[in-house]
Chains A and B, each alone.
Chain A
Amino acid sequence: MIALVGVLAAPLIGAIVLAILPGYRASARINIAVSAVAFICALLLLIQRPDPGRYLLVDDLNVVFILLGSFVGLTTSVFSASYIGHELATGRLTQPYLRFYHAMFQLMAFGMNLALTANNIGLMWVALELATLTTVMMVGIYRTHEAIEAAWKYFILGSVGIALALFGTILVYLAARPAIGGGIDSMVWTVLVAHAHGFDPALLDIAFVFLLLGYGTKVGLAPMHAWLPDAHAEGPTPISAVLSGLLLNVALYALLRFKILMAATPGAIAPGPLMIALGLISLIFAGFMLYRRRDIKRMFAYSSIEHMGLIVFAFGMAGPLGNFAGLLQMAMHSLTKSAIFFSVGHIAQVKGTQRIADMGGLTETHPLLGWGLVAGVAAIVGLPPFGVFTSEFLIVSTTFARQPVLAVLVVLGLLVSLGALLLRVISIAFGEPRGGDGPVRASSFPIVAHLALVLIAGVWLPPPLVGWFQHVAALLG
């Protein structure tokens, strides 16, 4: 119980403290410390889970994501410490905004942890709204024209998505009312799952459509993805890492909670075809869009859209393998993409630009960053022995067994994106050195830690993790 409270309270208190404290060094250190506390609490949650309460819950589905979330938060805060120092030095970020940045960072961590641990679907919605608000504030923090456009687009699209998701939540409550009746318990997720067989299936169908569209906007599914590339490209890189690595996952996690409800209600239409369609569209669309991108962060943002499309496709295919693969892919993508954004952030700083055409020969000038980027991209396109290969292989094989045509489309999308990413990364990492040559004060810990984890997961998955994922895969139907 203490651990659960700690996971939530640490970021919240940290946000308040960081909002008051001036001074960059102290804020960065406190940021790391608070994230470390949250991570330790998440580790404790692995060992012993509290009983589900009326508002908070830790079960097989969210324990991994809580741990993952706090880990990525920790490594991002380490990355952010050195990254922001450079931004301060170049004047891109000014002192007053620094407190704002750190406070919003921890507030966002609080929001995400709350969304992950919420047992009440209304509370989950509020927490996601809080996470949206904080990230919007941070995307616009550079106050350039492009940043403001990106933040405004993200704000409007994200808010419309949140509004639709709220409407879906209300409809879920309505669908559950005949089985549960009114009262505070009628929005508690564990109670909902227990009574799901009595729900009104037609109403639940419509509710899920709204939830898919609403939360799907926050996941970045095409055609609701329009905010994603801009938000990633124009915000500070730690925010891009957190957006790709965590926030997309949390929004998808919210969708999964409702998918479990759908699976438990007999008579509800299978949400599969809709999710498959949206996932495939995102996958193939993003794959082709990767070729024309000239900004490095924008390119990896489209890669995030593509992977989220793949994950939603996997959950749409359903079945034990499909769901398991989707969950695994969520975790692997989160680690890999944030590692890539860490290296991209430092690369952009040393080269002084985000344009791909202006970068080159990275492995000669900055070997650690260059090879880190190469390894990261190798991981994200699905090359073995990295963990992403495992999950993608599972997805393709289960799809091939059931719907060969769709498998062909999936492989097509994956190959298209593989081509684009490898092409670009080769031009950045190898060849004649181009672009700036500044020194980098980067900590190598975040990138190395993430990629090491992904590499290990590609070879060996810890049995408890496999057990949890299999259990959730069964629940997802």
Chain B
Amino acid sequence: MGLAFDIAHMLAGLMVLAGLMMLYQDRLYPLLHVLALQAFLLALSVAWQAHLQDAPHLYITAVIALGFKAIFIPWALRKMVFRLGIHREIEPVVGTGLTMLAGMGLVALSLEVMLPVTAHADPVSRQDIALALSIVLIGLLLMVTRRNAVSQVVGFLAIDNGISLAATGAQGMPLVVEISVAFSILVAFIVIGIFLFRIRERFDTVDVEALDRFRGERR
């Protein structure tokens, strides 16, 4: 299988581990740290892919992942969390054990679905796509099990990491840099959006349950 595969496997596997670690965090600062770790591993993985595929433009994606997703976004979120005043809150995480089991189930599911389907591709591509799907699903699980808006956004950022892993793992995909830039802009807007929409200022809490009072469905 070779060292190339082993290193790609190790980086992708550690990204999945970081995703699972996000599921049981109940404080916001450690959650942001794990997110930064996952983005850092993504940057390493993309750089390794750039080396393997001999695709220099992927190095740009790696730098974007490192500078933007691993450093800037967690820093910006940290500042935002501090200004919103929720950095000391402990979030009630629904059933840690159950969530972790669900996360493992999702990893198993995505491996079961994606590995047979990509049978013709080369091994590095296959395992990157399979593990990328599991990271995306774990991110979705994180979004669904959280009530805090910042945690939900962190879940979306995990989805973003997973998709970037898939995009760079699919060898030879064109426009990877452009698409990752576009996605990063969306991500930036969402992160700004927490502040722009000033959920806390309007509702005195970032707890999205409080938003439910204003759900128009009852009208």
Q: Direct contact between A and B in the complex (CB less than 8 angstroms)? A: yes
Contact of A170 among B149, B160, B166, B197 (CB under 8 A): B166
Q: Answer whether residue B47 sits at the interface, using C-beta atoms and an 8 A cutoff.
A: no
The 7 closest A-B pairs by CB, nearest first: A182-B172, A122-B175, A184-B174, A126-B182, A202-B117, A295-B219, A149-B214
**C-alpha spacing A355/B216, complex, angstroms:** 12
Q: Answer whether residue B173 sits at the interface, using C-beta atoms and an 8 A cutoff.
A: yes
Asked whether, in the complex, the Cβ of A230 is within 8 Å of the Cβ of B216, the reply is: yes
With A145-B202, A166-B163, A294-B219 known as contacts, the answer to whether A183 contacts B172 (CB < 8 A) is yes
Known: A162-B186, A166-B179. 12 other contacts (CB 8 A): A149-B214, A151-B197, A155-B190, A156-B152, A173-B170, A174-B121, A174-B129, A186-B172, A187-B174, A203-B117, A230-B215, A298-B216
**C-alpha spacing A150/B217, complex, angstroms:** 11
- Chain A interface size, as a band, is 35 or more
Asked whether, in the complex, the Cβ of A159 is within 8 Å of the Cβ of B156, the reply is: yes
Q: Answer whether residue A120 sits at the interface, using C-beta atoms and an 8 A cutoff.
A: yes
**C-alpha spacing A229/B219, complex, angstroms:** 11
Q: Answer whether residue A43 sits at the interface, using C-beta atoms and an 8 A cutoff.
A: no
Q: Answer whether residue B89 sits at the interface, using C-beta atoms and an 8 A cutoff.
A: no
Asked whether, in the complex, the Cβ of A206 is within 8 Å of the Cβ of B190, the reply is: no
Asked whether, in the complex, the Cβ of A122 is within 8 Å of the Cβ of B183, the reply is: no
Asked whether, in the complex, the Cβ of B173 is within 8 Å of the Cβ of A233, the reply is: no
User: Which residues of the other chain, B, contact A164 by a CB distance below 8 angstroms?
Assistant: 136
Q: Answer whether residue A59 sits at the interface, using C-beta atoms and an 8 A cutoff.
A: no
**C-alpha spacing A155/B185, complex, angstroms:** 13
Q: Mark B172-202, 1 if CB is under 8 A from A, else 0.
A: 1111001100110110011001000111001
With A159-B156, A295-B219 known as contacts, the answer to whether A187 contacts B197 (CB < 8 A) is no
Asked whether, in the complex, the Cβ of A129 is within 8 Å of the Cβ of B182, the reply is: yes
**C-alpha spacing A133/B192, complex, angstroms:** 12
In the complex formed, the residue of B with least CB distance to A130 is B182
Asked whether, in the complex, the Cβ of A133 is within 8 Å of the Cβ of B174, the reply is: no
User: Which residues of the other chain, A, contact B174 by a CB distance below 8 angstroms?
Assistant: 122, 182-187
Q: Answer whether residue A439 sits at the interface, using C-beta atoms and an 8 A cutoff.
A: no
17 contacts between A and B (CB under 8 A): A122-B178, A126-B178, A149-B214, A152-B149, A152-B197, A159-B190, A163-B160, A163-B183, A167-B133, A167-B162, A167-B166, A170-B170, A183-B174, A185-B174, A186-B173, A229-B217, A230-B215
Number of interface residues, chain B, beta carbon within 8 A? 49
The minimal Cβ–Cβ distance linking B157 to chain A, given in whole angstroms, is 10
Q: What's the dominant secondary structure at chain A's contact region?
A: helix
B-side residues, CB < 8 A to A, are: 113-114, 116-118, 120-121, 125, 129, 132-133, 136, 140, 143, 149, 152, 156, 159-160, 162-163, 166-167, 170-175, 178-179, 182-183, 185-186, 189-190, 193, 197-199, 202-203, 211, 214-217, 219
Contact of A295 among B166, B197, B216 (CB under 8 A): B216
Best-buried of A159, A202, A206, A229 by chain B (most CB within 10 Å): A159
The minimal Cβ–Cβ distance linking B134 to chain A, given in whole angstroms, is 12
**C-alpha spacing A173/B173, complex, angstroms:** 7
The minimal Cβ–Cβ distance linking B113 to chain A, given in whole angstroms, is 7
The minimal Cβ–Cβ distance linking B17 to chain A, given in whole angstroms, is 21
Best-buried of B136, B167, B214 by chain A (most CB within 10 Å): B214
Chain A positions 163-201 with a Cβ under 8 Å from a chain B Cβ: 163-164, 166-167, 170-171, 173-174, 177-178, 181-187, 200
The minimal Cβ–Cβ distance linking B149 to chain A, given in whole angstroms, is 8
Contact of A155 among B121, B125, B193, B219 (CB under 8 A): B193
User: Which residues of the other chain, A, contact B199 by a CB distance below 8 angstroms?
Assistant: 148, 152
**C-alpha spacing A411/B117, complex, angstroms:** 39
User: Which residues of the other chain, A, contact B215 by a CB distance below 8 angstroms?
Assistant: 149, 230
Contact of A152 among B117, B129, B193 (CB under 8 A): B193
Asked whether, in the complex, the Cβ of B214 is within 8 Å of the Cβ of A146, the reply is: yes
User: Which residues of the other chain, B, contact A355 by a CB distance below 8 angstroms?
Assistant: 219
**C-alpha spacing A227/B113, complex, angstroms:** 29
Asked whether, in the complex, the Cβ of B197 is within 8 Å of the Cβ of A129, the reply is: no
In the complex formed, the residue of A with least CB distance to B140 is A160
Q: Answer whether residue A234 sits at the interface, using C-beta atoms and an 8 A cutoff.
A: yes
